[in-house]
């Protein structure tokens, strides 16, 4: 007996956005989610003192149309998340964007590039001289950190589009956290007759008959199935305990899934009993939004313009992948050592100020297996395949299917979910 018109596998932003639109269109929708909560890589936890802490997605990176329209409809407020950019290098603080000698030439060369190649190859081919080593180091570090990407695979074309469309002045945080957006989507789905079933990890999907079945011990049947899982799960080799088996095999789509990059990330959140870093070594850091360093956990940010006692550490890209199986305690120690070195305060003193801490290694999270997608030189063709359904029965959605300057963001996930729902409604 058919359980729904459409089964959606995954209750992250993409799956929930699709479910909202499909239920609004009168479709009977069942969402199957492996976790005991909705949101996926959005995970807001409540805190009595500061209100909320974001273990996953935190920022709105720009004036992004789909995200902001959804928040406006939900009545969720968002605030500017600006602040100064600081650097700590060789024992010294500096403020402002780093002057990168050769950046204008780099963008000129990127704009003239006719055939795509990895950003590492691009830098090697166009900037081989020793004088450009600082530029290359900065670019590669940014690609690994911000995009959580492997520079040996990341597309120069995609990075060119991202850098041409940057608007560092239009950064926002949700007042109350991204969890409010997830709660809104869940309520919208349920109010329109949809259902979300948690702790329901789907192991296989069978599309061999007129309907599609999703199996997780129980068997669920629908006219169509939308797979809205993280790319890291879909890239798992067959036989891996977390992999999803699709029968009959969809070899072209499975090959395409491997052609898009999926990064690695470690996020460390530290809550202290006071904001101790605003006056350090004669420097006024009270408006510091970010500080970049050479430490093992190199990137840190505050809650500016709010003066809350929270520091967030960030390690991305291939280096984060190296710590895939590092114990949380080891990563926590790296974080404290990093702050000790940056602020010139003993490890013991910083630890004594600590009230709570969270280490989130998304790379080993069993339902994610990484951070977010980035474009490789083969991603464009891969998305052309993945955006096509299999016999109008099996569809895909996820931030990895987004094409544009906001790759790897909540905007990308919401946009993909919206497009997937529209595709399903057309057939």
Rounded CA separation 77/75 (Å): 6
Q: Report pLDDT for 241.
A: 87
The DSSP bridge pattern shows strands 299-301 and 288-292 to be antiparallel
Residue 167: CB atoms within 10 Å: 10
SS3 185: helix
Is pLDDT at 98 greater than 70 in this prediction?
no
Rounded CA separation 208/390 (Å): 11
SS3 354: strand
Residues 414/397, Cβ–Cβ less than 8 Å = no
The pTM of the full predicted model, rounded to 2 decimals, is: 0.95
Give me the mean pLDDT over the 32-40 stretch: 97
Give me the mean pLDDT over the 249-272 stretch: 97
Residue 206: CB atoms within 10 Å: 17
SS3 31: strand
pLDDT tens digits for 342-370?
A: 999 999 999 999 999 999 999 999 999 99
Share above pLDDT 70 across residues of the chain, in percent, rounded to a whole number: 99
Q: Report pLDDT for 213.
A: 87
For 105-126, the DSSP string reads HHHHHHHH--S--BHHHHHHHH
Give me the mean pLDDT over the 288-316 stretch: 96
Does the annotation place 130 within a ligand binding site?
A: no
State CA 10 to chain mean position distance.
Answer: 15
Q: Report pLDDT for 99.
A: 62
For 375-403, the DSSP string reads -BTTHHHHHHHHTS-BTTTEEE-SGGG--
Share above pLDDT 90 across residues of the chain, in percent, rounded to a whole number: 87
Does the annotation place 33 within a ligand binding site?
A: yes
Does the annotation place 355 within a ligand binding site?
A: no
Tokens of 4: 């729904």
Q: Which residues pair with 396 in a beta bridge?
A: 227
Q: Which domains does the chain have, with CATH numbers?
A: 4-54+177-260+376-426 (3.50.50.60), 83-168+265-361 (3.90.660.10)
pLDDT tens digits for 213-253?
A: 888 889 999 999 999 999 999 999 988 989 999 999 999 99
CB within 8 Å of 73: residues ≥ 6 apart? none
């Amino acid at each position: 007996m058919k359980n729904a018109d459409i089964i959606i596998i995954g209750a992250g932003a993409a799956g929930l956005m699709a479910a909202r639109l499909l239920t609004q269109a009168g479709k009977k929708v069942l969402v199957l989610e492996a976790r005991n909560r909705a949101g996926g890589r959005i995970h807001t936890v409540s805190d009595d003192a500061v209100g909320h802490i974001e273990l996953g997605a935190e920022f709105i990176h720009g004036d992004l149309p789909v995200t902001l329209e959804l928040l406006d409809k939900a009545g969720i407020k968002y605030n500017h998340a600006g602040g100064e950019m600081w650097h700590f290098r060789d024992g010294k603080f500096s403020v402002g964007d780093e002057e990168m000698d050769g950046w204008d030439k780099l963008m000129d060369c990127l704009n003239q590039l006719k055939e795509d190649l990895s950003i590492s190859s691009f830098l090697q081919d166009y900037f081989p001289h020793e004088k450009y080593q600082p530029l290359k180091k900065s670019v590669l570090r940014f690609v690994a950190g911000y995009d959580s990407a492997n520079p040996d695979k990341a597309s120069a074309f995609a990075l060119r589009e991202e850098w041409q469309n940057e608007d560092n002045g239009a950064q926002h945080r949700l007042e109350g956290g991204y969890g409010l957006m997830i709660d809104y989507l869940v309520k919208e789905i349920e109010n329109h007759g949809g259902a979300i079933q948690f702790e329901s990890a789907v192991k296989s999907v069978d599309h061999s008959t007129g309907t599609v079945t999703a199996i997780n011990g129980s068997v669920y049947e629908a006219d169509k199935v939308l797979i809205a899982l993280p790319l890291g799960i879909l890239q798992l080799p067959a036989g891996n305990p977390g992999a999803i088996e699709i029968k009959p095999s969809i070899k072209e789509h499975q090959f395409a899934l491997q052609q898009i990059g999926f990064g690695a990330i470690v996020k460390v959140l530290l809550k202290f009993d006071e904001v101790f870093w605003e006056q350090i070594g004669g420097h006024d850091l009270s408006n510091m939004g970010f500080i970049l360093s050479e430490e093992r956990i190199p990137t840190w940010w505050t809650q500016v313009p709010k003066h809350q006692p929270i520091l967030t550490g960030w390690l991305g890209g291939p280096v984060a992948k190296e710590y895939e199986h590092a114990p949380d305690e080891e990563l926590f120690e790296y974080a404290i050592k990093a702050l000790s070195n940056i602020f010139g305060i003993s490890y013991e003193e910083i630890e004594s100020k600590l009230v709570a801490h969270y280490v989130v290694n998304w790379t080993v999270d069993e339902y994610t297996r990484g951070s977010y997608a980035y474009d490789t030189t083969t991603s464009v063709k891969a998305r052309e395949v993945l955006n096509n359904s299999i016999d109008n029965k099996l569809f895909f959605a996820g931030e990895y299917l987004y094409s544009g300057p906001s790759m790897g963001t909540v905007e990308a996930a919401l946009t993909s979910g919206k497009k997937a729902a529209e595709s399903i409604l057309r057939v």
